[in-house]
Amino acid sequence: MPATMKGPGIFLAQFAGDAEPFNSLPSIAKWAGGLGYKGIQVPSWDSRLFDLEKAATSKTYCDEVQGIAREAGVQITELSTHLQGQLVAVNPAYDSQFDAFAPSSVHNNPKARQEWAVQQLLWGAKASRNLGLDVSVTFSGSLAFPYLYPWPQRPAGLIEEAFAELARRWKPILDAYDAEGVDVAYEIHPGEDLFDGATFEMFVDAVDGHSRAAINYDPSHFLLQQLDYLAFIDIYHERIKAFHVKDAEFNPDGRQGVYSGYQSWINRAGRFRSLGDGQVDFSGIFSKLAQYNYDSWAVLEWECCLKHPEDGAAEGAPFISSHIIRVTEKAFDDFAGGSTDKAALRKMMGIEG
């Protein structure tokens, strides 16, 4: 049956803060609902909004969370475990930077940090089920990304072993999500080992085609790589289970291109923008997803180097609403149809008998 995607939703991570209305789930949910959003994607690591361990162990708590959302006129779209997923696999080059994503008790201890991250993800599977959610969004982490550019030459087998190890770490997690009936939608993102279609395929192969290995589709990261983000939907639509609606622009010049010359976000050739201010063809994207019966959420992820976040949020809900295609159950030329008459069909083609 034809399906219409749900939305608009909003990812709360970039808006959560210590001041009202962004410092508690009831107040931020009410703020989002007041802007016209119908769903909220919850960052599971932010204790101001959500208690992941409690959600994994208490259906009563999850019912309370759902009640808070309903009272605000929204529903939970997915739980995000992006920061914890990042820590499932960390190349030592990034140890000091990514320690900030974990509690201080595991800083300077990569093994303990990874164990903490895996436990968080296992709780995410159970919490998603307790909330009645069928999809969770996350990052894959990275062992190979520092070796992205093929200079100096990579030792033979380096990338293969990186993906084999990534699969060894993720396979038990994917199995845990499978046991709960929840898809793991990886955001395909530079900085992760899953950063384009080719690397996603390598990972899926490494986890033996695991049915729960899915995609959180975000075209902004593809535009900045100069990847064909519409063709990506044609190729991977069966694995796309979540959708971050985020805009970007790429303006190369004589000084910088895709790598953007170590510049700050505001001075980069490639930079994220608020919806409608960038170059992403959202009409094409929403049409492609409608064509393939994508029936999950369209969720704003706001990241812009220029516009104030509250303005971006206010503009995001109507932007997404105006792009969601209510999928028809009828063909436009049904009026010209009729019942099948095999003899008449054969006659039309000049076939005797």
Q: Which residues pair with 75 in a beta bridge?
A: 39
- CA dihedral in degrees (262, 267, 270, 275; nearest 10)? 140
Q: Confidence band (pLDDT; 50, 70, 90) for 311? A: very high
CA–CA distance, 220 with 217 (Å, rounded to integer):
9
Residue 34 is predicted with a pLDDT of 98
Please tell me the chain's helix, strand, coil percentages from 3-state DSSP, rounded to the nearest 5. 45, 15, 40
Q: Tell me: pLDDT of 331 over 90.
A: no
Residues 147/159, Cβ–Cβ less than 8 Å: yes
Fold entry, domain 6-348: TIM Barrel (3.20.20)
Q: Tell me: pLDDT of 338 over 80.
A: no
Question: By percentage, how much of the chain surpasses pLDDT 90?
Answer: 93
Residue 352 is predicted with a pLDDT of 81
Q: Tell me: pLDDT of 2 over 90.
A: no
Q: Report pLDDT digits (tens) over 8-24.
A: 999 999 999 999 999 99
Q: Confidence band (pLDDT; 50, 70, 90) for 335? A: low
Residue 53 is predicted with a pLDDT of 98
Residue 337 is predicted with a pLDDT of 66
CA–CA distance, 260 with 255 (Å, rounded to integer):
8
Q: Confidence band (pLDDT; 50, 70, 90) for 336? A: low
Nearest to 275 by CA among 31, 10, 75: 10
Residue 179 is predicted with a pLDDT of 98
Residue 344 is predicted with a pLDDT of 86
Coil/strand/helix, residue 189: coil
Q: Tell me: pLDDT of 301 over 90.
A: yes
pLDDT, mean over the chain: 96
Mean pLDDT confidence for 204-231:
98
Residue 41 is predicted with a pLDDT of 99
Residue 334 is predicted with a pLDDT of 63
Q: Which residues pair with 79 in a beta bridge?
A: 42, 136
Question: By percentage, how much of the chain surpasses pLDDT 70?
Answer: 97
Residues 277/316, Cβ–Cβ less than 8 Å: no
